[in-house]
Amino acid sequence: MHRRARSILRGEQGLSMILVLCIGALFVALSAALVYAASVLTANANRQLLEQEAYQLATSFSDVLEAELNKKDSSFAKFVNEQFMFSQSYGKDIYDLESQPKEFAWKPKGSQPDGGAEAITVTLRRRPGDGADKLNQTVNSTNATDLRNLLDTLEGEDRKGMAIVDLQLDITVTVTKNGESFAFTRTYDRTVKYSSSDKSTSKVYYTVNGGTTEYYREDALTFVAAGQEKLEIKDDNINSNRLTFHCDTSQQPDSITYTRGAKQSTGTTQE
């Protein structure tokens, strides 16, 4: 009887020891899980902080570039207007197709802190604007009075040009900080005006009946061209003289302004 009791007691002690070991192992595993969870939460928090800092830097630089864009004498505006939006080096069909992207590293001035960013990259893209088809358009009417009114509208007040949204510009700023990158894009509508006169320096000209001779509007409905007699359109010859209005895009517009377009996008990338 005593022998059996001692056997049972030893068995219970063994079970207790196993139970203690299991509970200990459970606490060790639980502690490890808590440590891992804490490290994951800390890493996520740090990443979110970096993303937020990169976002703030990207949007701040976008604001700086936007201000520079509408300063026609700034180096950034000159590059955009005189090269990127003007040259066929970035795509031959300027008013038909989207351009190849132009990417360059931005070097801020000393007065523009980089916020500890490892890299700041600016990417430009252009595409035809909603009004690109207005740069060249047929202008016909059934009577001389209506035709003159139409030409006055196309040439704008005091012949200083009609506002035309000829191109769109995307500016993407990508900021990299501690291996995290954030890209912020703004789209701008470019509005231009081309002035007109009766001189060959006019930035607006007309062609007649699909021809290639460039006519300049002298006044009302009288047109002049080098080596040609003056053309005066009246009610009795309006149907035999069909005009096409052209903006001379080989010249720089008289005025250029940029306003934010509808499209705006953000996104993150990880190296």
Q: Identify the band that residue 59 occupies on the pLDDT scale cut at 50, 70 and 90.
A: confident
CB atoms within 10 A of CB 190: 23
Average pLDDT over residues 262-271: 46
Core vs surface per residue 118-127: b (16+ CB within 10 A) or e: eebebebbbb
Residue 22: predicted pLDDT: 54
Q: Flag the least confident range among 21-35, 89-103, 212-226.
A: 21-35
CA 40, chain centre distance (Å)? 36
Q: Which residues of 60-92 are buried (b: 16+ CB within 10 A; e: fewer)?
A: bbbebbeeebeeeeeebbeebbeebbbeeebbe
Q: Return the pLDDT at 21.
A: 54
For residue 40, give both structure tokens: 């994951």
Predicted TM-score (pTM) of the model is: 0.75
> What confidence tens digit (pLDDT) does each residue in 131-186 have?
999 999 999 899 999 999 999 999 999 999 999 999 999 999 998 877 777 888 99
| Confidence band of 61 (pLDDT split at 50, 70, 90) | confident
pLDDT, tens only, 178-229: 777 788 899 999 999 999 999 989 999 999 999 999 999 998 999 999 999 9
- Sign, Cα dihedral of 96, 98, 100, 101: positive
Domain residue ranges of the chain, discontinuous segments joined by +: 2-270
